[in-house]
Amino acid sequence: MSKKRQKEACFDRLLRNMRYVNSVFTIQARAGEVKTLGQKNCAMTGVIYHVSDRMEISDNFMKLGDTEEDENFLWGGAFYMLASKMCLSLLISLSLFTQTSEGPGDSKKIQTLLDKLRKESQNSVSVRWSAVTLTPELIEGNLTKPSRHSPGWITYEYFEKIKLLYDLKNVKEDLRILAVVPDLNGTTLYLQRLLYGKPVCGEQIAVEIDSRGVIQRIEGALHTGLEMKRLRRPMYAAVTLEEAKRAALAYDSSLKGSAVLGMDSCYLPDRNGVPLVHKITFEKENRPVAVTVHSMTGKVIE
């Protein structure tokens, strides 16, 4: 085997050790360089890597191995590369721990925002926080001034003001109006949390607006930091909805012959990595039964 092919085979082995679902690392080996990983410096001598949409091997790397010194650098690079991966994982874990411990965003900014909201509402605002997501699960009070705008406009405008509380980046991209339900007292809007254009499982918000156009109540908590937990990359399904349906039936044979009430995909916010899953809902004994299937592995998630 030629030296070039030996180096390519070595590199393939390194990539297999570093690859994980929906993420491919770009690797370049060039002594003395420093690479920044997500605003955190995690450089290792001789080898650097970062997340990218493609894979490439620098020309300098392919020239390595012509001397004993270069061979030592090549195999030494394997150690440093794996050490770099561990460093990246540690940085991500620490950032997630910090976010979970302190809640979304900066606590001082949140307190300043809450003080402003209370002042604008003449101290009528009350907030109940979720112990699970550390975001509001209920906000009540005269939250806005009377308005003749549409319920959707009123809702989006207010969420633009309070998005820090829910760790939202772009309100109109992160929240989709599912339904607008008028009643004798006003209107209730139902919003769905989105991540990369897909729903987040179980994350809906109800907004109650009275007949004057004043938001009186917001109910529903949202998980924070989902983009970071996904390493800021969407997941693309390798398993179709029909394949997920077959996997669900194979998992629970008692569902065979049951009517399918719905099949949809959503991100699972309380599972490591926030995977994209398929939810297949059957009707069994006059009640809905949902089966969750991982969109990459096709395995049922209990």
**Which of residues 176 and 33 earns the better pLDDT score?**
176
Return d(Cα 5, Cα 15) in angstroms, integer.
15
Residue 28: its pLDDT value, please? 36
pLDDT in the model for residue 178? 97
Examine domains 107-229 and 241-301 and report if their fold is the same: no
pLDDT in tens, 263-287: 999 999 999 999 999 999 999 999 9
Contact assessment for residue 124 and residue 142, using Cβ atoms and an 8 Å cutoff:
yes
- Torsion angles phi and psi, residue 127, rounded to 5: -125, 130
Q: Nearest CA to 298 among 248, 253, 254, 259?
A: 248
Residue 67 confidence class, pLDDT cut points 50, 70, 90: very low
Which fold would CATH assign to domain 107-229?
Answer: TATA-Binding Protein (3.30.310)
Q: How far is CA 71 from CA 5, 61, 68, 256, in A?
A: 14, 11, 5, 59
pLDDT digit string, tens, across residues 198-249: 999 999 999 999 999 999 999 999 999 999 999 999 999 999 999 999 999 9
pLDDT of residue 86: 57
Residue 98, token pair as written in the block: 């910090």
Mean pLDDT of 124-135: 95
Q: Where are the domains of the chain?
A: 3-102, 107-229, 241-301
Q: What is the pLDDT of residues 145-201, one digit of tens each?
A: 999 999 999 999 999 999 999 999 999 999 999 999 999 999 999 999 999 999 999
Q: What's the mean pLDDT when you consider all of the chain? A: 77
Q: 73-109: per-residue pLDDT in tens?
A: 444 444 445 555 555 555 444 444 433 333 444 688 9
pLDDT tens digit sequence for 39-62: 333 333 333 333 333 333 333 333
Q: Which are the contacts of 166, defined by CB distance < 8 A and separation ≥ 6?
A: 104, 135, 136, 159, 222, 224
Q: Which has the minimum average pLDDT: 27-31, 123-127, 132-136?
A: 27-31
CATH 3.10.450 fits 241-301, yes or no: yes
Phi first, then psi: what are they for 147, rounded to 5°? -150, 145
The CA distance from 32 to 47, in Å, is: 8
Beta strand 175-183 pairing with 186-195: antiparallel
Q: Supply 185's token pair.
A: 């007292």
What distance in Å separates the CA atoms of residue 200 and residue 113, rounded to the nearest whole number? Answer: 26
How many residues can be counted in the chain? 302
